[in-house]
Amino acid sequence: MAIFAYDELEDGVLPEVKVLSNMLLYFRPLPGGLIEHIRDSPWCQVLIGLNQDFNINTPRKPFCLWRDITGLKSGNKEFFRRILNLDPGLRPLAEELLNDQWFHSP
């Protein structure tokens, strides 16, 4: 699965919009902390619109529920879930990540 890429774009869809849609699809609904962080950006309304596109007919596919991910060792999924948190206030600091066991395990 490509999260930060895309195979094809629909006419008129910007690549950035497709990547943002994928992030909302795989990582979580749009968090309030991110809205506060980008409130003055034109991307704020884009994200709000994309977030509203998900429903019972277009469900999310949470990364935390993915099972077999080629090349991803057990426990690594949690590390990536932490660093890809959409709420900037909840993402770990670089110093915290450098002390994570992910960097120190074989």
Residue 98: what pLDDT?
Answer: 92
Q: List Cβ<8 Å contacts ≥24 apart for 57-65.
A: 60/24, 60/25, 60/26, 60/28, 60/29, 61/25, 61/26, 62/26, 62/27, 62/28, 63/26, 63/27
Residue 74: what pLDDT?
Answer: 67
Mean pLDDT value across residues 13-25:
87
Residue 81: what pLDDT?
Answer: 84
Statement: residue 104 has pLDDT above 80:
yes
List, for residues 32-55, the tens digit of each pLDDT value.
999 999 999 999 999 999 999 999
List, for residues 59-84, the tens digit of each pLDDT value.
998 887 887 777 777 678 888 888 88
Contacts of 37 (CB under 8 A, 6+ apart): 88, 89
Q: Cα–Cα distance between 98 and 78 in angstroms, integer? A: 15
